[in-house]
Amino acid sequence: MNKILVAPSILSADFGNMAQAVINVKEWGGDIVHCDVMDGVFVPNLTFGMPMVQALRKYTDLPLDCHLMIIEPEKYVERFCDAGADYVTFHPDASKDVRGALEKIKAKGVKCGLVLNPDKPLSMIEPYLDIIDMLLIMSVYAGFGGQKFIEESIKKLEDAKKMLDGAGREILLEIDGGISEKNAKAVADAGAQILVAGNAVFTAENPESIIKQMKNYT
């Protein structure tokens, strides 16, 4: 069994105290800091951009995983890389130049990935299996934390795992939306290697225990 990594999403943290949030993520045993970037256009919500990523970079040595929910990500991906991102992912349906954006990220020495909302098919990813380092499957519609996990995502993960196994190169499989210690085993068994969790971690009385349960689900 592959090691499961947990990526707490700071979307559910106290926006008045983000530096402390990323420090906490490490203390609680989180592996990656998931940063949800929303533009109010691709999704009906606004969060933060490159300056926040750059600011948080100083407070943690954990990888920063930037999930861009913005239109025309090709215009901004390099600036997220320069701000200190370790992974930059975006939604292919938001981009006019998917390959160009992926190439820009790679050229910066940063891992690149694509994200699929629940209604977007895996076939959208196929043309990019030669370049992506990560595939992020949304198990809720991107835009807000605290939504309910969509059960059909399990089957999509299984199909995604098969597709990625056939790619002949290492591509990480990440799941995001409604993930908690309760469904961690199901999504990990279906092939997810990185589990994003916002509410489950940040509203927990004991976040360390929640992260531990998500990692050692067997």
Look at residues 97, 5, 83, 96 and name the one whose alpha carbon lies nearest to residue 37: 83
Q: Which is nearer to ligand DX5, 133 or 176 (CB)?
A: 176
Binder of residue 37, out of ligand DX5, Zn ion, none (CB less than 5 to 8 A by kind): none
Q: Could you list the beta-strand ranges (E) of the chain.
A: 5-8, 33-38, 64-69, 87-90, 111-116, 134-138, 172-176, 194-197
> Where does residue 150 rank: exposed (0-12), middle (13-18), buried (19+ CB within 10 A)?
middle
Contacting residues toward Zn ion, per CB under 5 A:
36, 67, 176
Nearest distance in Å: CB 218, ligand DX5: 22
Query: Which of these is catalytic: 36, 39, 65, 133?
Result: 36
* Residue 112 contact, options ligand DX5, Zn ion, none, Cβ 5-8 Å cut-off depending on partner type: none
**C-alpha dist (Å) from residue 197 to 83, 94, 166:** 23, 23, 28
Chain positions contacting ligand DX5, by CB under 6 A: 9, 11-12, 34, 36, 67, 140, 142-147, 176-179, 196-200
Distance CA(9)–CA(202), nearest Å, equals: 8
> Least distance to Zn ion from the beta carbon of 24, Å?
18
DSSP label at residue 125: T
Which residue is catalytic, options 39, 86, 176, 189?
176
Sorted by sequence, the CB contacts under 8 Å of residue 15 that are 6+ apart come out as: none
Secondary structure class of 1 (helix, strand, coil): coil
Q: Is 176 a catalytic residue?
A: yes
165 is catalytic: no
The catalytic site residues sit at: 36, 176
